[in-house]
Amino acid sequence: MSNSLFRRLVSRRWGDDSDADGVRTDGGTVTDSPATATQSSRSWRDSEFVRSLPFWLPPALLMGLFVYGAIGWNAIISLTEWEGFGSPDYGNLDFSMYSRMLGDPSFVAAARNTVVLLVVFTVASLLLGLLVAILVDRGIRFENTLRTIYLLPMSLSFVVTAIFWAWMYNPEIGLVNVFLRGIGLDFLTTAWISNPQTKLGAVIFALMWQFSGYCMVVYLAGLRAIPTDQFEAARIDGASTIRMYWRVIIPQLRASTMSAAVVLMVFALKAFDFLYVMFGDTPGPSTDILATMMFRQAFSSSNWAYGAAIATVLFLLALVVIGPYLYVQYKRGDL
């Protein structure tokens, strides 16, 4: 009688059912029986991960292909010299477009305007939104009506806003110049969107009008979340209203400021629609930004590789804006 058969008989005789779930090999280990393997496979198929695949896998594949795949392909195109005709030559990749970019005065002007628009628009909108939020929070009359009216421009698209403000800035019949003439300030009237000295400022003011209401809502939510006993304690200590807000209230609005600032900077980088409707693809050196320059180089001048390089720089600038915010949120455990 062989040793394996002897061990099987002994295990059955003394009730050792370890062989029921598996078959011992000559080395003394136990292998899973077909029933156990089938049960393990069934439990894997019934896991939440597998059952959720039909819901998140198709959108993930589509986004990976049409968003991240397109970003990667754009970065590769920027390393070629493709002009839109034929197929790109992927055999000779270099950074010549980026070298050309650094020596291009048009790119330097567009980058400068982009940064100015980004910073001034964001800071001014935050300050205006904070001021209005404080006024609304102090219980003024018609609070709900004012809040609705002030937030309404946020619901408009860049196209509608650009058409509206193009009429507002009209030098003859525009409401801005009509108002200045009506109050005796004729010397301030000008062609706001034709004068190189005022074009960028006019764009920033129009964007502030559209997005400061969003800042007001964000700050108002932050103010309403602060316990009222902190206001009362500051008043008991004899702090003036300005000192109370500056020392006690505003420092607690850092989270609101950060979230609103990120949204505003992203919209500033996406201001192409506004500028294109108002000025076309040639807004001029005083108002040209990276987005309009990218469009002009790629679609008007057929410099696709150069346009792709500008788009890559714009994408990296967006990462610089969003990256720190995501890192802070991750460190706080909010992601």
Please say whether the beta carbons of 125 and 208 come within 8 A: yes
- Residues 6 or more apart whose CB falls under 8 angstroms from that of 125 comprise 207, 208, 211, 212, 215, 264
Q: pLDDT band for position 248 (50/70/90)? A: confident
- pTM surpassing 0.85? no
Tell me what pLDDT residue 307 has: 92
User: What digits encode the pLDDT tens for the residues 116-152?
Assistant: 999 999 999 999 999 988 888 877 777 778 778 888 8
Mean pLDDT along residues 278-288:
87
Q: Return the percentage of the chain with pLDDT > 90, whole number.
A: 34
Protein fold of 97-332: MetI-like fold (1.10.3720)
236 vs 176, residue with greater confidence: 176
Instruction: Quote the distance between the C-alpha of residue 217 and its chain's center.
Output: 18
Helix, strand, coil % in the chain, rounded to nearest 5: 75, 0, 25
Q: Output the pLDDT for position 14.
A: 45
Residue type at 292 in one-letter notation:
T
Domain ranges within the chain, ordered by starting residue: 97-332
- Asked whether 121 and 204 are in contact (CB, 8 A), the reply is yes
- Per-residue three-class SS string for 62-129: HHHHHHHHHHHHHHHHCCCCCCCCCCCCCCCCCCHHHHHHHCCHHHHHHHHHHHHHHHHHHHHHHHHH
pLDDT for position 231? 76
Q: Could you tell me the pLDDT band of residue 208, with boundaries at 50, 70 and 90?
A: very high
Question: Per DSSP, what are the bridge partners of residue 52?
Answer: none
